[in-house]
Chain A
Amino acid sequence: MTLISSSSTQKSGVAPAALHTEKLTMQYARKVAFRDVTLSVPAGQITALIGPSGCGKTSFLNCLNRLTELTPNTQTTGTVLLDGQNIQAMELIQLRRRVGMLFQKPNPFPLSIYRNLEFPLQEHGIGQRDRVAQIIEINLRRVGLWEEVKDRLKSPALALSGGQQQRLCLARTLALNPEVLLMDEPCSALDPISSEVVEALIDRLRGDYTVLVVTHNLAQARRIADRVALFWMEDTVGKLIESGSGQELFESPQHPLTQAYISGKRG
């Protein structure tokens, strides 16, 4: 089929946007998840958030598309700027379209493979059949799933393997043409081979999207991240300890905790 020209398999339109947080603090009813995180996430680069479990990385990620608002009794202070705009002032649906998310556990809807992508597209006002079909094919191709599923687009998404489901979820997010992608340990629930496939996909998103990925896999962070930020728990509160380019952080860490963590002595 020559429906898709080679240029249209690339990302169309929107340029990746930079994210910046300024003294961002979030607390649950009784516990402060993280405090005073000031971090710049440059556009078009892959930034990895590393650090031991429970130090607020996931909570931090969930603040950036205001997903924390689904959890009652959470409070966020400080500012998050998306391309210079305060996300609190943005319309929620618009924000979440611009800032996509991939979860730890693959979570396709219990719909058909096709419908998983079609449903969110329709919700965002893209309902024209040919156009939807085209977007779906492009994005399934981009995650390398098209050849595997093109003959069973109407079959249940939940019948796919874990790795395929995660790639479907990535395609579903990419179909909305976001500027930023938040990923919460996207490989940790997958088998080693699927994990490698997804990692290679993330690597290929560089330049087209601003990617912020939480990972516990230091080797992975080293492989794919342009920039790295280390979170640590101090007095039960998550803090940003150090951030910098991957090379800086791994080759010449400034903070003793960073040294200890990347050498495997702590964490």
Chain B
Amino acid sequence: MIKQRPRSRRSSFGEPLMQGLLWSSVLLITGAFMWLCSDIVRHGFRQLSWDFLTQLPRDTGRSGGIGPILVSTGLIIGVCLGVSIPLGVGTAVFLNEFSAPQRWLSQFLGISLDILAGVPSIVFGLFGNAFFCKTLGLGFSILSGGLTLACMVLPILIRSTQAGLQSVPNDYRLSAAALGVSRSAVLWQVLLPAAMPGLVVGLLLGIGRAIAETAALLFTSGYVDRMPTSLMDSGRALSVHIYDLAVNVAGGEQNAYGTALVLVLLLMMINGSVSWLGKRFQQTRILDV
């Protein structure tokens, strides 16, 4: 027989206290987030217009729009994701599915990746400046910036893809092998779709980190606010523009708010579409219960 544990006085007293603590922490966090958002929306909303999104910045950004900056940001993120997704997913797949699991090697790699994921962005910026801009001779360019961001995003992407693949039951691999199905086929048809939630989380975290990045980009893609004509041009990212307007340009606050609002909206749009695409990819391939 199961005995009902007598309720101690302490727990009946502790319960409301615990609940109160939990609720207040929830309110604190959502409150801070709401305050931040409402501040940006309140100040930035008036700036938002088609002209703001498409025109060139004038008077070092005090007036005019953010057209070239949006384009540069898009290109930088594009380079970053174009490089980091195949490389990151490929690395994770290789480590989890194709390499012999030598314990010490994979452990060492895991620790290195975790450390890399936590390295301050300014360090990545200096590395990018030294390696991409100088050693490879790419100079201050969108390409350098995108590649530097890719380095930052890679560890996050690799780790979460690995976690996603690890969560896929080994049964699928075994039964596929026993049916004489090639490893690459089972990877495409079953493992990757099943690991998709992990991959999407990694992508969202990575994109969030990349799109919000300022320090690393100052050193690599520079802050020229002209419309870029190629990946070798210097280009100013949204976050750099906000930083510049808020810190260096007196009277630039209004446009800084407007740009911040655009940045937040852009991030939400990207996150939404990545989640949607991930779900689509998963649903067209596998059917979970």
Contacts and interface: CB of A to CB of B under 8 A. Distances in A.
Interface of A: 65, 67, 70, 72, 92-97, 100-101, 103, 105, 107-112, 115, 119-120, 123-124, 155-159, 169, 172-173, 176
A156 B289 contact: yes
Contacts of A103: 171, 174-175, 178
15 contacts: A70-B177, A94-B180, A96-B177, A97-B180, A103-B171, A105-B171, A119-B189, A120-B176, A120-B179, A123-B185, A156-B288, A156-B289, A172-B179, A173-B179, A176-B180
**5 A-B pairs with the lowest CB-CB distances in the bound complex, closest first:** A96-B180, A156-B287, A107-B171, A101-B178, A93-B180
Contact of B289 (A70, A100, A158): A158
Contacts of B285: 111
A70 B178 CA distance: 10
Choose among B179, B190, B285 the residue with the greatest number of A CB atoms under 10 Å from its CB: B179
Interface in B77-121: 100-101
Nearest to A169: B175
B135 interface: no
B194 A110 contact: yes
A96 B181 CA distance: 9
Given A70-B173, A100-B178, A112 B287 contact: yes
A159 B176 CA distance: 19
Contacts of A107: 169, 171-172, 174-175
B286 interface: yes
A96 B287 contact: no
B180 A124 contact: yes
B289 to A, nearest CB: 4
B11 interface: no
B182 interface: yes
Given A70-B173, A103-B175, A119-B189, A110 B180 contact: no
A175 to B, nearest CB: 9
Contacts of A72: 100-101
Contact of A155 (B176, B178, B287): B287
Nearest to B287: A156
Contacts of B189: 109, 111, 119
A169 B101 CA distance: 29
A158 to B, nearest CB: 4
Contact of A96 (B179, B190, B286, B289): B179
A119 B179 CA distance: 10
Given A67-B178, A123-B182, A176-B180, A110 B171 contact: no
Contact of B177 (A67, A158, A176): A67
Interface string B27-39: 0000000000000
B185 A110 contact: no
Contacts of B287: 110-112, 115, 155-158
Contacts of A100: 178-179
A70 B182 CA distance: 13
Given A111-B189, A156-B287, A158-B289, A176 B172 contact: no
A109 B175 contact: yes
Interface in B135-185: 169, 171-182, 185
A103 B178 CA distance: 10
B180 A92 contact: yes
Which of A108, A109, A119, A157 has most B Cβ within 10 Å?
A: A109
A111 B174 contact: no
A5 B88 CA distance: 52
A20 B181 CA distance: 25
Nearest to A97: B180
A190 to B, nearest CB: 16
Contacts of A94: 180
Given A110-B172, A111-B286, A176-B180, 17 more contacts: A94-B180, A95-B180, A96-B179, A97-B179, A100-B178, A101-B178, A105-B171, A109-B175, A109-B176, A111-B285, A119-B189, A120-B179, A123-B180, A123-B181, A155-B287, A156-B287, A158-B288
B194 to A, nearest CB: 6
B208 to A, nearest CB: 29
A173 B189 CA distance: 18
A110 B190 contact: yes
Nearest to A93: B180
A65 B174 CA distance: 12
A123 B171 CA distance: 18
Contacts of A124: 180
Nearest to A70: B177
